[in-house]
Amino acid sequence: MTGARDPAIEDLLAAVRRDFAAKLPERGAELAALVARAAWDDVRRAAHKLRGSAATYGFVDLGAHAAAIEDLLLEAADAGAAPDDAARARLDALVAQAVAACERASQEGA
Amino acid sequence: MYSRNVAPSKILVVDDDPDIRRIAALALERIGGFRVLLAEDAAAALDLAAREAPDLVLLDVSMPGADGPSVLAALRARHARPIPVVFFTAASNDAEVERLRALGAVGVVPKPFEVADLPRRIRAILADLGIE
């Protein structure tokens, strides 16, 4: 989120970034809850949304974690199966990272 | 094929994610000076396209229900004068870009996008089309 030099626009961007960041802990918790329920399609959709929006709002780490979650679930879907034990372990680690990134982003954006 | 605008070009942004609609509208309106219309799904997009005749549609590929390519096909079927469509996508690898262009898209904008860069990209596409 750089390149807009007009201070009024910069203020607006900062405000929308704060709004976005404030909702992230809840979104992280939702993601973790979906994983706990093994609702893989919903997890993939939630990760897809975060992948597109998080880095656009300046939260690059969170966008990268969300992208990794979506890609892992797309691989499993392409194989026609739910994530196996190894994939599930990676997924749990990635989701934990995403949840932590949501919390950090919320603190940064406040 | 397209007529040149004098008034600010009208951009219809179609995305199911309200956060993307919000930031895209801010970028296109406040930085780019475009007039922006927002739709959250295919039905709203087709309705707005019919009523407002946008100069360009910025369309998310992956949406619940009718996805971006389905919306593009419906726009093509309903409008004698084709409305240029630019796809928004998180999967912007070469093969996907080629697939989307083959469907008739005039451009592809990867997500995430740089806020200040979005209006520049859209303006360049409009210029290439002779709309601005």
Q: Which string of b and e fits B13-35 if b means at least 16 CB within 10 Å?
A: bbbbbebbbbbbbbbbebbbebb
* Side chain identity, residue B9: S
Where does the pLDDT of residue B6 fall: very low under 50, low under 70, confident under 90, or very high at 90 and above? low
Q: Does B92 touch chain A (CB under 8 A)?
A: no
CA dihedral A13, A18, A21, A22 (to 10 degrees): -150
Instruction: Give the least confident one: A5-19, A57-71, B15-29.
Output: A5-19
Pull the structure tokens for residue A35.
């994983």
Residues of B in contact with A4 (CB under 8 A): 31, 115-116
Q: Which CATH number belongs to the domain containing residue B39 in this structure?
A: 3.40.50.2300
Using an 8 Å CB-CB cutoff, list chain B residues near A63: 112
Question: Are B20 and A52 an interchain contact pair (Cβ–Cβ within 8 Å)?
Answer: yes
B2 located within any domain? no
Question: Is residue B1 pLDDT above 70, yes or no?
Answer: no
Query: Rounded to two decimals, what is the model's pTM?
Result: 0.89
Is B31 an 8 Å CB contact of chain A? yes
Q: How confident is the model at residue A2 (pLDDT cuts 50, 70, 90)?
A: very low
* CB-closest option in B20, B30, B116 to A3: B116
Residue among B28, B40, B96, B111 with most chain A CBs within 10 A, to mutate: B111
What share of chain A in percent tops pLDDT 90? Answer: 72
Average pLDDT estimate for B96-120: 94
Between chain A and chain B, how many beta carbons pairs sit less than 8 Å apart? 59
Q: For tokens 């605008």, what's the residue? A: B5
Tell me what the mean pLDDT of segment A51-73 comes to.
94
Class of domain A7-109: mainly alpha
Within a domain: B43: yes
Q: Answer whether residue B44 is part of any domain.
A: yes
- Tens-place pLDDT, residues B30-85: 999 999 999 999 999 999 999 999 999 999 999 989 999 999 999 999 988 889 99
Share of chain A above pLDDT 70, in %: 94
- On whether residue B5 sits in a domain, the answer given is no
Which candidate from B23, B64, B90 shows the least CB-CB separation from A51? B90
pLDDT band at A63 (very low <50, low <70, confident <90, very high): very high
Q: Judge whether A51 is closer than 8 Å to chain B, CB to CB.
A: yes
Interface ipTM: 0.84
Q: What is the pLDDT of residues A94-108, one digit of tens each?
A: 999 999 999 999 998
> Residue B132's pLDDT is what?
80
Q: How far is B80 from chain A (nearest CA, A)?
A: 33
Q: By CB neighbour count within 10 A (0-12 exposed, 13-18 middle, 19+ buried), where does A30 fall?
A: middle
Residue B84: give the domain boundaries. Answer: 10-129
Would residue B40 count as lying in a domain? yes
As for how many domains chain B has, the answer is 1
